[in-house]
């Protein structure tokens, strides 16, 4: 099983809503990532979890709240988002964070904030 | 200064021709890794190939090869015998110690294969 599964695939939410994005992998990977990607741009790193501990937070606004309940799951809780937060949100995992470890990506959640 | 530069925003290539996508990088780390990813319109980011800075030989994975020229700080992706399914965005990326092993991405090249 070499998949990273993200749900939902599409999400439309209002600025007062609370929603969560989910990510799951069963490859035994110990590093998991959230990226934000605007159209025709490269992904921007948001958060990194390493061995279930938050190791990198790239100055992301507090309206995005990550959670790693166990080594296979990664959530991104969304609250009071702004229209400019509309983007493709990609989850990824890797065996660890070493130089030669490739990231496996999910197919993303396309988020629209109205 | 840009750490990863992809100078071709878009490319059109005839099916079955070979394609070279350019990537130059900038780092002072002696040890680093270079990656190429493909992103079709469906959105998933697909790993294609990896080259370590100390690898003596150019990496190859099926129809993909990486033309690694260390002195020029160049890591071009070569796709042999292109197929319609190769139409996608292609990103070059790098990991280095100085950046805490986070992937540093280029701006991408949109490749369109013509039938």
Q: Which residues of A touch B107 (CB under 8 A)?
A: 41-42
CB A78 within 8 A of CB A60: no
Band (B1; pLDDT cuts 50, 70, 90): low
Q: d(Cα B88, Cα B70) in Å, to the nearest integer?
A: 27
Q: Which residue has the tokens 């296979």?
A: A72
Counting as low any pLDDT under 70, the low residues of chain A are 1-2
Strand-pairing partners, residue B60, are: B65
Q: Which residues of A touch B104 (CB under 8 A)?
A: none
Percent share of chain B, pLDDT over 70: 99
- Across the interface, whether the CB atoms of B100 and A43 are under 8 A apart is answered no
Which residue of chain B comes nearest to A4, CA vs CA?
A: B44
Interface test with B, best of A11, A42, A59 (most B CBs within 10 A): A42
Residues of chain B contacting A, Cβ within 8 Å: 31-33, 35, 37, 42-47, 50, 52, 89, 91, 93, 95-97, 100-103, 105-108, 110
pLDDT at residue B68, rounded to an integer: 97
Contacts of B18 (CB under 8 A, 6+ apart): B78, B79, B80, B81, B82
Span B51-79, pLDDT tens digits = 999 999 999 999 999 999 999 999 999 99
Q: d(Cα B50, Cα A81) in Å, to the nearest integer?
A: 36
């Amino acid at each position: 099983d070499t998949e990273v599964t993200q749900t939902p695939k599409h999400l439309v939410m209002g600025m007062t809503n609370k929603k969560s994005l989910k990510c799951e992998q069963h490859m035994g990977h110990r590093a998991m990532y959230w990226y934000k990607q605007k159209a025709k741009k490269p992904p921007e790193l948001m958060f990194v979890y390493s061995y279930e501990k938050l190791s990198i937070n790239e100055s992301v606004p507090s309206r995005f709240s990550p959670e790693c309940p166990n080594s296979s799951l990664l959530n991104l809780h969304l609250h009071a988002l702004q229209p400019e937060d509309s983007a493709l949100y990609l989850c990824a995992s890797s065996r660890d964070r070493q130089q030669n470890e490739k990231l496996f990506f999910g197919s993303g959640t396309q988020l629209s904030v109205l | 200064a840009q750490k990863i530069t992809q100078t071709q925003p878009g490319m059109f290539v005839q099916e079955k021709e070979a394609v070279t996508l350019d990537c130059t990088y900038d780092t002072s780390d002696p040890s680093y890794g270079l990656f190429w990813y493909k992103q079709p319109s469906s959105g998933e980011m697909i790993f294609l190939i990896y080259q370590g800075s100390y690898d003596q030989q150019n990496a190859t994975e099926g129809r993909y090869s990486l033309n690694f020229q260390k002195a020029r700080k160049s890591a071009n992706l070569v796709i042999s015998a292109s197929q319609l399914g190769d139409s996608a965005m292609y990103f070059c990326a790098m990991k280095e110690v100085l950046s805490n092993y986070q992937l540093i991405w280029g701006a991408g090249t949109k490749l369109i294969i013509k039938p």
